[in-house]
Amino acid sequence: MHAIENRDMEVSQNSLKDFREQTLDRMALIACPFIIPFGFWYLYLRDYAMGALMLVVALTISVRFFRGYKDKFDPFMSWLLSLELITAMLFGYATVGVAAAFWSYPLFFAIVFLWPRKQSGYAMILALSVLVPAAFIYLETALAIRLGLTLILFSYMGYQLVGVLLEMQGRLESQAMRDPLTGAYNRRYLVKVMRQSTEEMQRGIGPVSLVALDVDHFKSINDTFGHETGDTVLIKLVAAMHAMRRNLDVVCRSGGEEFVIVLRNTDDPGARVFADRLRQTIEQTELLAGQVVTVSLGVAEYLEDETEDQWLRRADTFLYKAKHEGRNQVQPPPPPQLVIADAVIG
């Protein structure tokens, strides 16, 4: 159960990162067309420091979002951009005065998305500790008080609101990748994790194999005992698979009574041994009262240059072979010497 929660957390964190990065991309597309003209305007007014700073901010945004940083969180670039934005606001307070104060609010909103949730809180505290005292130096006291209070309130409300949005986004993404009946991942997530696994293998991280699984005579179970009982069998089956898999392995329901397990860092012989152990465990587990439920399995290690569809099709081909040759077996069969060694270790 903890392994399932950990993978859900990983999926949720990846979803939050994607959502944050997509939001930052949109903000960059909006911000740059606004910032660049103001930068040149200040240069035209011979306020070279302010104009240059605004153009540097625009350049940093462009680098951060359009030159390779969007796929990987970079603390240095986030700190650099945060400090540039805070510095620009200080210059604005000192040179423009009240007109610059209005730009404080989008600044704090941007900071929320520049960082993961916890770090964004620290960044906002830093910005408040710099800008609120500066407001009392460069602005009228009454205005500085109102600005300081509204910035604190805006920061708190924005921090909480964005946190709720990110959490909801993560939950929705996680739910969209889960089969509601069994709790296994669905076919959508299977496609995603297969693509990730093949990319990892191409980078030399390690072999990856698929185990395609189908419940033998499942239609007969539904016809004899009812669909509710059939659903219970599937739920218990997935629980048995989760109990045997490692944290890095992924159990997916590809459709009906068919499932696929993605085994990372596992070659073909190892995957076949795992599949046979799983077959035996399921046969010995009481999935249906008074009845023995068996499964047929097909194994395929990813081969270089084949597509994900071809890879999955090979696993399905071996699965159908196991069904046609008598069910309750693994195709290709596990190497005898590895089965013996596994039995001795077990």
- Quick: pLDDT tens for 71-119: 555 677 778 878 888 888 888 888 888 888 888 888 887 787 777 777 8
Is residue 257 annotated as a catalytic residue, yes or no? yes
pLDDT of res. 24? 66
Measured CA to CA, the distance from residue 50 to residue 68 in angstroms comes to: 28
Pairing of strands 258-264, 208-215: antiparallel
User: Residue 185: left if φ>0, alpha if ψ -120 to 50, beta else—which one?
Assistant: beta
Residue span(s) of the chain under CATH 3.30.70.270 come to 187-345
What average pLDDT score do residues 279-283 get? 96
Q: What's the first-to-final CA gap in the chain, in angstroms? A: 23
Measured CA to CA, the distance from residue 276 to residue 329 in angstroms comes to: 7
pTM of this prediction exceeds 0.75: no
pLDDT at 266 over 90: yes
pLDDT of res. 68? 47
Measured CA to CA, the distance from residue 221 to residue 6 in angstroms comes to: 33
Quick one: how far is CA 294 from the chain centroid? 34
Q: What is the mean pLDDT of the chain?
A: 84
pLDDT of res. 328? 97
Sheet strand arrangement including 250-255: 250-255, 258-264, 208-215, 295-301, 330-331
Nearest 10 degrees: Cα torsion 187, 189, 190, 195: 140
What average pLDDT score do residues 7-27 get? 56
Question: Catalytic one among 21, 140, 167, 257?
Answer: 257
Give the confidence band of 300 by pLDDT, cuts at 50, 70, 90.
Answer: very high
Quick one: how far is CA 158 from the chain centroid? 23
Q: pLDDT tens-digit profile of 317-330?
A: 999 999 999 999 99
pLDDT of res. 117? 75
Give the phi and the psi of residue 180 in degrees, each rounded to 5.
-65, -25
Q: pLDDT tens-digit profile of 152-204?
A: 998 898 888 877 877 777 777 777 888 989 999 999 899 999 998 888 887 77
Length of the chain (residues): 346
Asked if 184 and 238 count as a contact pair (C-beta separation under 8 A), the reply is yes
pLDDT of res. 107? 81
pLDDT at 137 over 90: yes
pLDDT of res. 297? 97
The residue type of 306 is E
Measured CA to CA, the distance from residue 275 to residue 331 in angstroms comes to: 9
Give the confidence band of 3 by pLDDT, cuts at 50, 70, 90.
Answer: very low
Give the confidence band of 69 by pLDDT, cuts at 50, 70, 90.
Answer: very low
Fold of 187-345: Alpha-Beta Plaits (3.30.70)
CB atoms inside a 10 Å sphere around CB 219:
11
Q: pLDDT tens-digit profile of 193-239?
A: 999 888 888 777 789 999 999 999 999 999 999 999 999 999 999 99
pLDDT of res. 341? 42
Measured CA to CA, the distance from residue 301 to residue 314 in angstroms comes to: 9
Q: pLDDT tens-digit profile of 227-242?
A: 999 999 999 999 999 9
pLDDT of res. 4? 41
Give the phi and the psi of residue 332 in degrees, each rounded to 5.
-65, 150
